[in-house]
Amino acid sequence: MTDSLPETGPETASATASSTAPAAAAGHKAKKEAKKPLPVWQESILLLAIALVLAVVIKYFFVQAFYIPSPSMEPLFIKNDRILVQKVSYWGSGTPQRGDIVVFKDPGGWLSSDETRSPSNPFTKALEAIGLYPSGGHLVKRVIGIGGDRVKCCDAQGRITVNGKALDESSYLPKGTMPSEDPFDVVVPAGHLWVMGDNRGDSFDSRGHMGDPGGGFVPVDLVVGKVWALIWPWSRAKRIHTPPDFQGIPAPQ
């Protein structure tokens, strides 16, 4: 007679499962106990590092603070006003449009030494690096013409024309200010801008640099972004919109 192995019944399987369950639970509990929370000081450093990374990302891709270096944009902006510049509008194929107020890097010789000031101490320098302190060394002007446009001053009524259409700039020029006392007739090269300050009598803009190697035109690549808001002083804080004066300008011939 051949001996047969005992069959494993439901009772045996149940006993085996019940014996392994406490061991698995104990192992899981041990793992949980092993994951102790970070000390407060380490957690604070981690949160600070994350905040700094986010600030840098926001500065380079979304918004950045600047200050107004001169009275060239009065009455809208006064010297030392603080503004926010957004960069989203010029992502991808987006480019500055007529009427936009833009911040751009100095094309070379446009700023005086007083207008290129930088933070004076390490703390404010660090804040500027991450976008939490207004940056200097840049210019703020209004775009009058884009690549291909013919910008001319002036018609019989003393108005600037863009591709033959006269601009009504009364909504942003200081009262009694001429659109320009200096005559000019230029065609903006592709990839460049013709820019002017609103305070035309006190703005050394594209007109004042026509004799430079660049002809007074600003390369689009130097544009940091579009002015989105005036944030300081609080009493004058507001959103900035492109005026309707630039609508209906015909395409360049």
Cis ω on the peptide bond leading into residue 219 (within 30° of 0)? Answer: no
Can you give the pLDDT at residue 12?
47
Question: Does some domain include residue 61?
Answer: yes
Average per-residue pLDDT in the chain?
81
More confident residue, 49 or 168: 168
Q: Domain residues for 84?
A: 44-246
CATH of the domain at 112: 2.10.109.10
- Give domain status of residue 71, yes or no: yes
Structure tokens at 65: 């603070």
Counting the structural domains of the chain, the total is: 1
Q: Answer whether residue 13 is part of any domain.
A: no
- Answer whether residue 93 is part of any domain: yes
Comparing 28 with 197, the larger pLDDT belongs to 197
- Tell which wins on pLDDT, 155 or 62: 155
Assess if residue 113 is contained within a domain. yes
Q: Give residue-wise pLDDT tens across range 81-134.
A: 999 999 988 988 899 999 999 999 989 888 876 655 565 667 566 655 555 555
Does the structure show a pLDDT above 70 at 228? yes
pLDDT band at 138 (very low <50, low <70, confident <90, very high): confident
Percent of the residues in the chain that have a pLDDT greater than 90, as a whole number: 51
Catalytic residues: 72, 141
pLDDT of residue 245: 86
The structure's pTM equals 0.74
Angle, alpha carbons 192-84-248 (nearest 5°): 45
Q: Is residue 230 part of a domain?
A: yes
Backbone angles phi, psi at 17, to 5 degrees: -65, -40
Q: Looking at the domain assignment, is residue 35 inside a domain?
A: no
Average confidence (pLDDT) over 161-170? 95
According to the 3-state scheme, what is the secondary structure of the chain? Answer: CCCCCCCCCHHHHHHHHHHHHHHHHHHHHHHHHHCCCCCHHHHHHHHHHHHHHHHHHHHHHCEEEEECCCHHHCCCCCCCCEEEEECHHHCCCCCCCCCCEEEEECCCCCCCHHHHCCCCCHHHHHHHHCCCCCECCEEEEEEEECCCCEEEECCCCCCEEECCEECCCCCCCCCCCCCCCCCEEEECCCCEEEEECCCHHHCCCHHHHCCCCCCCCEEHHHEEEEEEEEEECHHHCEECCCCHHHCCCCCCC
pLDDT digits (tens, 9 = 90+) for 168-202: 999 999 998 999 999 999 999 999 999 999 999 99
Q: Is residue 24 part of a domain?
A: no
